[in-house]
C-alpha cells in the first residue's frame, strides 16, 4: 500500500448524529409588502428550508421534492411581515411534525447541524450590506458563521474565510492551512459555494432511519483496490455508505450504513456482498461467517 493511500485511509472520519433544529422557519424577500403571491412565497420558503436541512441547494430538482414544494401552503403554521424599503421580509414558519413526516416520506438525507463546521469570516473591503447579507444567508443555510472579532481566532475551532469583494475569498483551517479558493466573488454565491464545499468535504449526509453494521475484509493491497472495494460495497442497494474505520492484521474494518427497516434482510445483504467477489472475513455479529461458503 502506498503512503498516500494509507494516509487517506487513516484520515477518514464518519460523522453520525441526531438531526436537531431549533425552528422550522425561513425568510423570503418580497418586492412589495402589500401585494405578493402567498403560494409563490410559501413554495420558495419550503425549498429554502429543505436546502437548509439537507445542505443540498439543488434538492428541489428531485421530482418528489418539487411536487411537495409546489403544495407548500398546507404545511405553513404561520407567517409574518417585516417591512423594508417598500418590500418585505416574510418569515414563514412550518409545522415541525409535518415537515419531519415529509422528510421521511421523501427519503431525504439530512446533515446534522451540530456537525457543520464553524466558520469565522474576516472581511477586508466589504460594505455593511455585504456583511449583513452573508450572515443572513449563512443563517438560512444552517451554517455556523460569524464575523471575526479580536481574539476570536485564539478560541476558534473550525475554519476562517478571508478575503473581500475585490480580491476574492480563501478558506483556511484554524492552523492557517489553505483549503480552497472561491472563484465567484458575488455575495449571491459565496455562502452557497461555501456550503457546497463543506458538504463535499465533510461528507456524509445522514438519514435518520440508517442503521450500521461492521464487516472485516481482506485482500486490499493498494488505493485503487480500496476505491473498487468501496464501490462494490455501495453498489449493494441496501447500503447507503461504506466507511473504513480501521486497518489491522485481521483485515480492513468497514462500517456499512444501511436503511434501518430492512434488518431482517441483513443476511441477504451480506450474501449479496459475498457474491460480488469481496473477501468477507467476518462481521460484528458473525452473520458474515454463516453466509461465506
The 8 Å CB, 24+ separation contacts for 102-105 are 102/68, 102/75, 103/50, 103/53, 103/208, 104/208, 104/209
Q: Is the pLDDT of residue 108 over 50?
A: yes
* Residue linked to cell 478571508: 162
Chain length of the chain:
293
Hey, where are the domains in the chain? 25-106, 113-202, 209-291
Architecture of domain 113-202: 3-Layer(aba) Sandwich (3.40)
Strand positions, DSSP E, the chain = 25-30, 76-84, 87-94, 119-123, 145-147, 159-164, 168-173, 178-182, 210-217, 239-248, 251-259, 280-283
pLDDT tens readout for residues 15-57? 222 233 446 888 887 766 666 788 899 999 999 999 988 888 8
Q: What is the overall mean pLDDT for the chain?
A: 75
The more confident residue out of 288 and 183 is: 183
Question: pLDDT confidence of 226, banded at 50, 70, 90?
Answer: confident
Query: CA 36, 38, 43, 45 torsion: positive or negative?
Result: positive
Query: Using an 8 Å Cβ cutoff, are 206 and 111 in contact?
Result: yes
The residue among 86 and 200 whose pLDDT is bigger is: 200
The string over 239-260, giving b where at least 16 C-beta atoms fall within 10 Å of a residue's C-beta and e elsewhere, is: bbbbbbeeeeeebbbbbbbbbe
Largest CA distance in the chain: 73
**Can you read off the three cell numbers belonging to residue 188?**
449571491
pLDDT of 202: 66
Could you give the CA distance from residue 271 to residue 273 in angstroms, rounded to a whole number? Answer: 5
> How many other C-beta atoms lie within 10 A of the C-beta of residue 196?
16
pLDDT for 112 beyond 90: no
Classify domain 209-291 by CATH number: 3.30.70.100
How far out from the chain centre does Cα 113 lie?
9
Tell me if domain 113-202 and domain 209-291 are identical in fold.
Answer: no
Selection from 275, 248, 244 nearest residue 257 by Cα: 244
pLDDT of residue 69: 94
Q: Which residue has the higher pLDDT, 4 or 60?
A: 60
pLDDT at 290: 36
Report, in this order, helix, strand and coil percent for the chain, each rounded to 5.
40, 30, 30
Quick one: pLDDT at residue 127?
82
72 pLDDT above the threshold of 80: yes
Give the H/E segment covering residue 270: helix 266-275
User: CB of 269 within 8 A of CB of 236?
Assistant: yes
Other residues' Cβ atoms within 10 Å of the Cβ of residue 112: 19
Q: Tell me the pLDDT tens digit for each residue of 183-198.
A: 766 667 888 889 888 8
Amino acid at each position: 500500500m502506498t503512503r498516500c493511500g494509507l494516509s487517506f485511509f487513516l484520515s477518514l472520519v464518519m460523522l453520525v448524529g441526531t438531526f436537531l433544529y431549533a425552528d422550522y422557519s425561513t425568510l423570503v424577500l418580497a418586492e412589495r409588502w402589500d401585494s405578493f403571491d402567498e403560494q409563490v412565497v410559501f413554495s420558495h420558503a419550503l425549498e429554502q428550508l429543505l436546502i437548509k436541512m439537507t445542505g443540498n441547494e439543488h434538492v428541489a430538482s428531485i421530482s418528489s421534492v418539487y411536487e411537495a414544494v409546489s403544495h407548500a401552503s398546507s404545511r405553513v403554521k404561520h407567517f409574518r411581515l417585516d417591512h423594508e424599503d417598500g418590500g418585505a421580509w416574510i418569515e414563514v414558519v412550518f409545522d415541525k411534525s409535518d415537515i419531519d413526516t415529509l422528510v421521511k416520506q421523501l427519503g431525504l438525507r439530512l446533515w446534522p447541524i451540530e456537525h457543520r463546521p464553524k466558520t469565522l469570516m474576516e472581511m477586508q473591503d466589504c460594505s455593511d450590506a455585504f456583511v449583513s447579507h452573508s450572515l443572513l444567508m449563512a443563517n438560512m443555510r444552517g451554517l455556523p458563521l460569524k464575523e471575526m472579532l479580536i481574539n476570536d481566532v485564539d478560541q476558534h475551532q473550525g475554519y476562517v474565510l478571508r478575503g473581500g469583494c475585490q480580491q476574492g475569498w480563501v478558506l483556511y483551517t484554524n492552523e492557517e492551512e489553505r483549503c480552497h479558493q472561491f472563484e465567484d466573488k458575488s455575495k449571491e454565491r459565496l455562502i452557497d459555494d461555501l456550503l457546497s464545499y463543506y458538504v463535499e468535504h465533510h461528507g456524509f449526509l445522514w438519514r435518520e432511519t440508517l442503521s450500521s453494521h461492521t464487516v472485516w475484509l481482506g485482500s486490499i493491497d493498494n488505493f485503487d483496490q480500496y476505491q473498487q472495494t468501496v464501490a462494490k460495497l455501495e453498489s449493494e442497494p441496501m447500503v447507503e455508505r461504506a466507511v473504513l474505520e480501521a486497518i489491522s492484521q485481521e483485515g480492513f474494518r468497514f462500517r456499512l450504513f444501511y436503511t434501518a427497516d430492512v434488518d431482517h434482510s441483513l443476511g441477504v445483504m451480506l450474501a449479496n456482498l459475498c457474491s460480488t467477489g469481496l473477501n468477507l472475513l467476518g462481521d460484528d455479529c458473525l452473520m458474515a461467517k454463516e453466509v461465506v461458503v
